Structure formats: structure tokens, C-alpha cells
Amino acid sequence: MPPVFAPFTDAALPLHVIDQDECANWLQQRPQQVSDWAQANSFTAACGQVLLVPGDNGKPDMALVGYGTAAQRARRRFVLAGAAEKLPKGVYTIASGLDQSALAMECLGWLLSSYRFDRYRNQGEMKAGLLAPEGVDSAAVESLAAAECLTRDLINTPASDMGPDELQAAAEALATQFGASISMTVDEALLDQNLPMIHAVGRASDWRPRLIEMNWGTSGPKLTLVGKGVCFDTGGLNLKPGASMGLMKKDMGGAAAVLGLARMIMAAELPLQLRVLIPAVENSVSGTAFRPGDILTSRKGLTVEINNTDAEGRLVLADALALADEGKPDLLISMATLTGAARVAVGPDLAPFYTDNEGDAAALAAVANGSADPVWRMPFHDPYEARIEPGIADLDNAPAGGFAGSITAALFLRRFAGESRYMHFDIYGWNPTAAPARPKGGAGQGARALFAALPEMLNL
Ligand code: BES
Ligand code: ZN
Ligand code: ZN
């Protein structure tokens, strides 16, 4: 079950969120016994510090939570969540200390800190519940939490239980929940429907390759989301070494992100026509695997020389993007765990994105931090186009040398997005170290920022 606010109770314990710079002041304005208790317990309002203050009867009367200094907060995404994880069992209500601009995201952090990936082992439960504060749209915050939890679950589930079949089932469950229509193009049908590169990448696996298509909404601008659904990426014949392959269950992180974004859009009933395309494959090794040196003809007609079977994401996305472009969307967005180079550039925290549309870039930058979903713009640098042109085919899927690897991959994709207004995210989809509300493991990236920016981008 996705996390929700606690049901109303008038027994909720008031929780005061205290800025470290204001702490002495704040305590001074309280009864002596409160400041004495705080001092005796070394409460300084450092980020995430927690103190229950007893009343005259010895029972807790209030909870104090440290909000740190502005400089400390700048180093974290969620602050309240760090405290929420430490609070004893009970229901809390935020009584003071958070201004309206921070409130919704801090509430989201609280809800997300109760996320557990417990499919294979009981992970215990979070003890502290939170009443929805006044002025916060609780359903909207719960919807953001549910979307993030969906994304995390999909990524965390290992390939043994999250192959193309199961990814399809997850998309079908979402479609059913929100009344979307859904259809599949599976295996040989990919060839009949002229999606040859999705077939080529996925054909070596016993789990048959497919394109998942979900449609929702009947009026308004057309938004098409394309997510990389490589359920496991061995690298293919250009096999990844063990250390690089270990985490590759997360190579469907783009699919997980677009399904999370789709969930937010449908739950909010945004007035738009949504189309979601997910090429779902395993990049595997067998006698039928596509080979280095092969030249594939894409749906769009462009030929692609395979110089590394490990650069498979751009191949499956290329056919999906060409199909998306044919539908003449008002906005086309792809999300993919596409390159290791993106990680080298910006690390696991930031979602790098590409667009030629200045307005879209500005709209996204304006809302990203406030959505607890930091993004960073990267350039579609035209002078690097030559790097993806090999000679005997139109395109090279893996330019030698690897310079600007994330950019050349993005330029490759842009060729297939045609004339569509196009944005691309090269995400990591994984949190390597735990932080408040962000456990180690699968992580949504880009979706919340996009969701917040869509009204501006599409004039909703
Ligand atoms: N799925 C990987 C990219 C990746 C690797 C994302 C590690 C996140 C973490 C992708 O299919 C891939 O292997 N890309 C290659 C491309 C190269 C062969 C041109 C890469 O980035 O090394
Ligand atoms: Zn790969
Ligand atoms: Zn991959």
C-alpha cells in the first residue's frame, strides 16, 4: 500500500520544527521547564534532531524537531523525514516552523520515509504517522508518494520477477486503475509492425521483446512519454564485466519513471492526451543475439551500425521515438538509464535533461528544486553530430572514444524524434547511499519536476 497521511485524531502530538539559528530564541519564549529539558538533552535543532518534551503528567506534551540552518538544509533534499524516521510510535501534527512553500515537500518526505521494499523480506514499519497539515493538498501529496513508490518497486524488483512480462503486467495494472487503454506488440509482431530494432535487441532472450503502449485522456494537448524498459542489460555480446552488470536490473528505470509520471498525471486528471510507449526487452546473450558490426535498419529508415551491443537503449528507444513522432505529439519526452557517462557528469542525484526548447528548459528549472527533484540541463551540441556518423551506415550506436557519451546518445535519439518538440532525460534511477526518505535502491528522477512543469509547458 502506498503511504498516506494518518487519519484524523485530536490526540496527535504537536510537533514544532525549529530553525537552528532560531533555537535559543524559540526556547526562551517557552516555559522554563521546556528550555531546561531541551538543554539537558543537548537539543540544538540540528537537522533531523528529535526531542520529546514531557508535560506535567510525564507524558509527551510536544515533539521538537531540528530544521538545521539554511546551509545545512541546502545539503539535503528532505529534512523533516530525517526526524520522522526517529520519532516514537504515534501520530504527529506540525504545529509550527514550516512555511507554506516547504510544507508540501516536507510532507512528501515524511510519507516517502515510510517506503519499504518488502517483497522478499519484512522490513519493519515506520512508527510515526503525520496528520495532513491545513493548506496542504493531501491527495496531491499522497499521489506523488504513490508514484514514487511505484517507480521504486519496479526498479527494485530483480529481473527474475521484473522481465518484460511483469513490466507489461505492471503497466496493465496501472492502466486498469486509471481507466487507460493498453496494448502490446510482442515478438514477431514487432517485425510486422516495423519496430525492427526493438526486436533485434530483445530477440536473444527467452523473455520475448515487446512494445507496451498505454493511452489515456481524450482532449487537450498530446503528451507522449517514452521509457527505456531494458529489464536486464547484460551488455549483449559485448558483455558487461560483472561489476558493471550487477545493478542492471535497474535498466528499466526510464520505464519506471514514465509510469510514475503517468500515474501522477492520471491521478490529477490533467487535461491532456497521454500516450506512454515502453519498449520492454532483455538485452541478453544467445545464438540469436545481434552482433557488433551488424547494421540494423530502423523504423524511421535510418541505418545503424552496431559498434557495441551494450549501447542498446538508444536502439529500442529509436523505434519507439519514431513511432511517437508519427503521432505528432505536442510534447515528446524520453526517460532512460541511457549512459554511464551521464553519471560521470552529474552523479546519481541530478537528472540531466536535454531540450532545444528554451521555454521548456526554463519551466523545468523553475520548479525542480521545489519538487525535491533536482535536474540539470545538458546541451544537444550540434557539432558532435559528426561523432554518431560512422560511414557505411547513417548512424553509429557507440562512437569510439566515448567523449561526451551522454550528449552523443542524446543526439542519436533526437534524430528519431523528428520534428517533435522533444525533451530527453538520461537518468540513473538508483540511490547508491541512503538519505532521509531516500533509501538505497531504486529512485524516481525527473518525474516530479516534469509533473510540476507540465501546466506551464503545455498551457494547461
Ligand atoms: N544501461 C547502460 C547505461 C548505464 C550504465 C546507466 C550504468 C547507468 C549506469 C547502457 O545500456 C550502456 O551500457 N551504455 C553504454 C554505452 C556505450 C557502450 C556507448 C555506456 O554508457 O557505457
Ligand atoms: Zn547497455
Ligand atoms: Zn542499458
pLDDT given for residue 390 in this prediction: 86
Task: Look up residue 278 and give its three cell numbers.
Answer: 515502453
Q: Which atom of ligand 1 is nearest to the CA of 313?
A: 11
> d(Cα 438, Cα 237) in Å, to the nearest integer?
35
Q: Which atom of ligand 1 is nearest to the CA of 283?
A: 11
Q: Are 282 and 231 in contact (CB under 8 A)?
A: yes
Ligand 1, atom 17, lies closest to the CA of 311
Ligand 1, atom 5, lies closest to the CA of 340
Q: Are strands 351-355 and 375-378 parallel, antiparallel or unpaired?
A: parallel
> d(Cα 52, Cα 61) in Å, to the nearest integer?
7
Task: Determine the distance from the C-alpha atom of residue 321 to the mean position of all C-alpha atoms in its chain, rounded to a whole number.
Answer: 20
Burial of 153 (0-12, 13-18, 19+ CB in 10 A): buried
Residue 298 per-residue DSSP state: P
Q: What share of the chain is helix, strand, coil (3-state, %, to 5)?
A: 40, 20, 40
Q: 144-457 in CATH: which number?
A: 3.40.630.10
Burial of 454 (0-12, 13-18, 19+ CB in 10 A): buried
For 44-107, the DSSP string reads ---TT-EEEEE-TTSSEEEEEEE---HHHHTT-S-SHHHHHTTSPSEEEEEEES--HHHHHHHH
User: Residue 309: how many CA atoms within 13 Å on its side-chain side?
Assistant: 25
* Domain extents in the chain: 13-128, 144-457
Largest CA distance in the chain: 83
pLDDT given for residue 126 in this prediction: 92
CA end-to-end span of the chain: 30
pLDDT along the chain (460 residues), means of 10: 95 98 97 96 97 95 98 96 96 96 96 97 95 97 98 98 98 98 98 99 98 98 99 98 98 99 98 99 98 98 98 99 98 99 98 98 97 98 96 96 97 98 98 98 98 98
> d(Cα 211, Cα 229) in Å, to the nearest integer?
9
> pTM of the prediction?
0.98
- Ligand 1 pocket: which residues have CB below 6 Å? 233, 251, 308, 310-313, 337-341, 343, 398, 405, 428
Q: Which atom of ligand 1 is nearest to the CA of 341?
A: 21
Which is the catalytic residue, given 30, 73, 116, 240? Answer: 240
- Check if 291 is active-site: no
Which is the catalytic residue, given 77, 208, 263, 314? Answer: 314
pLDDT given for residue 278 in this prediction: 99
- Residue 272 CA, ligand 1 centroid: distance in Å: 33
Ligand 1, atom 22, lies closest to the CA of 340
Task: Look up residue 63 and give its three cell numbers.
Answer: 515533539
pLDDT given for residue 1 in this prediction: 85
Q: Are 208 and 187 in contact (CB under 8 A)?
A: yes
> d(Cα 161, Cα 443) in Å, to the nearest integer?
18
For 191-239, the DSSP string reads HHTT-HHHHHHHTTSSS--EEEEEEE-SSS-EEEEEE-EEEEE--TTSP
CATH classification (class only), 13-128: alpha beta
> d(Cα 253, Cα 335) in Å, to the nearest integer?
8
> d(Cα 193, Cα 212) in Å, to the nearest integer?
13
